[in-house]
Amino acid sequence: MQTKTKKIDIVIEILWLVIIFFIPVYLDQGLYNVFEVAKNVIFQSLTEILLFVYFVKFILFHRESIEVFRQRIKYFIPAGIFIAILGISTIFSQVSWFSFWGSWERRMGYSAWLHFFVFGLLLLLNIKKRNQIYRILAAILASSFFVGIYGAMQFKGLDPFKWTYDPFTIGRIFSSIGQPNFLGSWLLLVMPLAAFGLINKKPLIKYSSLFLLILLFLNLLWTKSRGAWLGALAMVIFMGILFFWRQDKKKIIFPAIFLLIIILLLFLAPHFNIQKDKLATNPFLARLVSLTDLKEAGQYRLMHWQASADLIKDKPILGYGLGSQRFNFPKYYQPIFAVYEKPNIYLDYAHNDILDTILASGFLGFFAYLFLISSAFWFGLRYLFKSPKQILNTKFQIPDSKFLILCLLSGLFGYLISIQFSFHIMSTLLYFWLFMVLIIILANNLTDSENISVPVEKSEEFLTPLKSLIILFVLSLTFLCLWQFNFRSYLSSHYFLNAQKAKAVGNWQEMIQENERAILFDSGNPYFHQEFALSLYQAGFSSSTEKLDWLETGIKNIETIPKRIRPIEAIIWLSWLKSEKANLTKNQGDFQEAEKAFQDSADFTPGTALVYNHWCDLKIYEQNWTQAIKMCEKAISLYPDLNHPSLNQEHYQSIVNEMTPVYLNLGFVYKKIGDPQKAIDYYQKSAYPIIKGFTSPYPNVLKVVYQEMIDTYKAMGKTDSAIYWAKHFQILWPDDPNSNLLLNLLQQKLK
């Protein structure tokens, strides 16, 4: 019987070690979302399998399992309270589907949090020996080694994968975690454990730990994540205060002086007058100096924090539910946002763990969350400050457990500081729960298996027919969960990736087939419906009849999504589809439907210029020139000042790319109402920002602008002006076959 128990325990331990090692390093380029969806699918699948194996153990050896559960469950009561409140918040959520499943980009809904809770509980119930903890530490450090090596490869430009975000060119690495800020937060959790290896007496482990610590520290620098840097600073000070307080209270002066020096430097740094050319040539220094002006560096987040505070007033008790921010932040969208991020970016998190928790679960959930975190810190700190005599009197001890708990607490503390400027993701939340469980186990000496008293069992058959039936039933439930929670998402993401590849090369028929497969496997997910609709809007079809049929399909796909959970993208894109449909049918009812869709978009996000940009198109289709001018001017008014000092080139170009079609529309409308000079003014307004913000070769839209100016001048009889712009056209695009032809025709007309 003991041999069989041991075999099941080995399987359980292998599963959790695979999860701990594999999740941070795992990515899957066969999926559209390479990082978070891939990690979510693997983590949840392995956790469900782990739960099944534990159920088998519980069924076969229920007396021992019940006794362990009875003795240990009290330590997980804070976690249970938090998960229960999060579940209630999900039931009463503003957007229950998203609160349960999470957004497609993150997959961090209640389902994921419930899996993390189950994973933590299974660890608590099954870790019984100190060697198990050391093997967990080895898995964490092995995983961090591969993450660190991949990060170093990215920094040196040796990344074997091609990303749309090139870490070498941008100068910020993300390794296998997926984003620089996320990587920075994750590194804060694992770096103290590398420091723990420094106290090992074996030279190989000690020097390997030193190498790993240096590697991880360099990775932290290469992320250029200011939130993670602040977290690292807080982590070092926290560790220093606890360490010196425990060793010699007088020595606490050292971390106190260090903290004072850092605060002084941050306060005085703006007065150092560092030359701008040095900052331009040294991005790392520029990033470091930006810490001294947190208002400027975090202006974008501050504006969302203010919006969060406003939202919290309306639902302070249970909040709006997980994943609900994406449905509330759009109404607070301001033109200035496009300075700090690309236009039309709607955050799905407030980028502050406190605000995000209150928004998701209200103050009730926030206090439960604080209770969960505080319980782990209370256990850990209580153990750290026990007198040596108390520790020696315990029945069992790990000689270095105090330093290990100090490292775990320090990692958690630094991480919690860093996510005041970010949020939880799969890789970081995994170690967040893992660290709390390890602190509970170490601080309460739960690795002493002799503390578990198991009642004497009667002699009974190991595997009865009833037990077999129960195991088969649980196995069926496990397969159902694997399919429902994970495999469907995996297949949908895979087929959606194929659809996007087909779309990129203009293979519209394959795009349609692959999108339909993606929807087939996850029909309840709004993301696939709305993305299919967008692709149909953008597709090139051979006839207007075919285009109209597929526009109808796109509209139906979005309208399949219930209104209460219809994301901002679906709301905006629906108006585009209906506008194009109205243009094809010229039916007054279709124009009215499109008008209503645009009004819905404007109500949902009144500060978004793109809404009015396309609304202007609708008015042009209707030949309602007065309203077209009104909508275009409204769109222009909602773009930020192109001379804003904080506007970088990337965001400048994105804004100009959006504004240019609006200017072209205004030019078209003014020509239609007989005011060609006004049209010329708008064409020039669109040309100058492109020339200023782009380098040769210029975007093709500039050719369109020049062509419109030349044609308008020609229609006005101002051939000299037309020739001037035609010559300019020839200078910018000397190899364009139309440039010489256009210039020759104009010159012949002048003669």
The pLDDT tens digits of the residues spanning 444-500 come to 988 864 445 454 455 456 678 888 999 999 999 999 999 999 999 999 999 999 999
CB contact at 8 A, 317 and 362: yes
Peptide bond into 526 cis (omega under 30): no
Q: Supply the pLDDT for residue 81.
A: 97
Tell whether the model's pLDDT for residue 390 goes beyond 50: no
Q: What is the mean pLDDT of residues 390-398?
A: 38
Tell whether the model's pLDDT for residue 665 goes beyond 90: yes
Range of the domain at 683: 643-751
Q: Does a structural domain hold residue 678?
A: yes
Angle, alpha carbons 393-397-400 (nearest 5°): 125
Q: Which residue has the higher pLDDT, 85 or 699?
A: 85
Tell whether the model's pLDDT for residue 262 goes beyond 90: no
Please give the torsion angle defined by the CA atoms of residues 508, 511, 516 and 518, in that order, rounded to the nearest 10 degrees.
-170
CB contact at 8 A, 343 and 658: yes
Q: Does a structural domain hold residue 648?
A: yes
Q: Does a structural domain hold residue 680?
A: yes
The pLDDT tens digits of the residues spanning 307-366 come to 999 999 999 999 999 999 999 999 999 999 999 888 998 989 999 999 999 999 999 999
Q: Does a structural domain hold residue 679?
A: yes
Q: Supply the pLDDT for residue 518.
A: 96
Q: Supply the pLDDT for residue 587.
A: 95
The pLDDT tens digits of the residues spanning 66-88 come to 988 999 999 999 999 999 999 99
Q: What is the mean pLDDT of residues 729-748?
A: 70
Q: How confident is the model at residue 278 (pLDDT cuts 50, 70, 90)?
A: low
Tell whether the model's pLDDT for residue 297 goes beyond 60: no
CB contact at 8 A, 638 and 609: yes
Q: Does a structural domain hold residue 686?
A: yes
Token digits for 635?
């769109």
Helix (H) / strand (E) element for 600: namely helix 588-604
Q: What is the mean pLDDT of residues 204-226?
A: 94
Token digits for 538?
């953008």
Q: Supply the pLDDT for residue 37.
A: 94
Q: How confident is the model at residue 295 (pLDDT cuts 50, 70, 90)?
A: low
CB contact at 8 A, 190 and 411: yes
Distance CA 52, CA 11 (A): 11
3-state secondary structure 368-396: HHHHHHHHHHHHHHHHHCCCHHHHHCCCC
Token digits for 409?
């607490």
Query: How many CA atoms does the CB half-sphere of 514 hold within 13 Å?
Result: 20
Please give the torsion angle defined by the CA atoms of residues 216, 217, 223 and 226, in that order, rounded to the nearest 10 degrees.
140
DSSP string, 670-725: HHHTT-HHHHHHHHHHHHHHHHHH--SSPPHHHHHHHHHHHHHHHHHT-HHHHHHH
Tell whether the model's pLDDT for residue 720 goes beyond 70: yes
Q: What is the mean pLDDT of residues 250-277?
A: 64
Q: How confident is the model at residue 389 (pLDDT cuts 50, 70, 90)?
A: very low
Token digits for 488?
């469907």
Q: How confident is the model at residue 8 (pLDDT cuts 50, 70, 90)?
A: very high
What's 657's domain CATH number? 1.25.40.10
Most confidently modeled of 187-191, 277-281, 457-461? 187-191
Please give the model's pTM, rounded to 2 decimal places: 0.90
Distance CA 509, CA 496 (A): 14
Going by C-beta distance under 8 Å and a sequence separation of 6 or more, which residues neighbour residue 263?
Answer: none
Q: Which residue has the higher pLDDT, 164 or 604?
A: 604
Q: Supply the pLDDT for residue 397.
A: 41
Q: How confident is the model at residue 744 (pLDDT cuts 50, 70, 90)?
A: low
Tell whether the model's pLDDT for residue 214 goes beyond 70: yes
Q: Supply the pLDDT for residue 292.
A: 56
Q: Supply the pLDDT for residue 739.
A: 65
605 three-state secondary structure: coil
Q: Does a structural domain hold residue 559?
A: no
- Percent of all residues in the chain with a pLDDT value above 70, rounded to a whole number: 88
127 three-state secondary structure: coil
Q: What is the mean pLDDT of residues 295-302?
A: 71
Longest dimension (CA), the chain: 114
Q: How confident is the model at residue 396 (pLDDT cuts 50, 70, 90)?
A: very low
Q: How many domains does the chain have?
A: 1
Return phi, psi of residue 90, to 5°.
-65, -40
Q: How confident is the model at residue 540 (pLDDT cuts 50, 70, 90)?
A: confident
Token digits for 748?
């012949």
What rounded mean pLDDT belongs to the chain? 89
- Percent of all residues in the chain with a pLDDT value above 90, rounded to a whole number: 71
Q: Does a structural domain hold residue 428?
A: no
End-to-end CA distance of the chain: 106
Q: Supply the pLDDT for residue 241.
A: 85
Tell whether the model's pLDDT for residue 534 goes beyond 60: yes
Q: Does a structural domain hold residue 346?
A: no
CB contact at 8 A, 302 and 574: no
User: What distance lies between CA 365 and its chain's CA centroid?
Assistant: 22
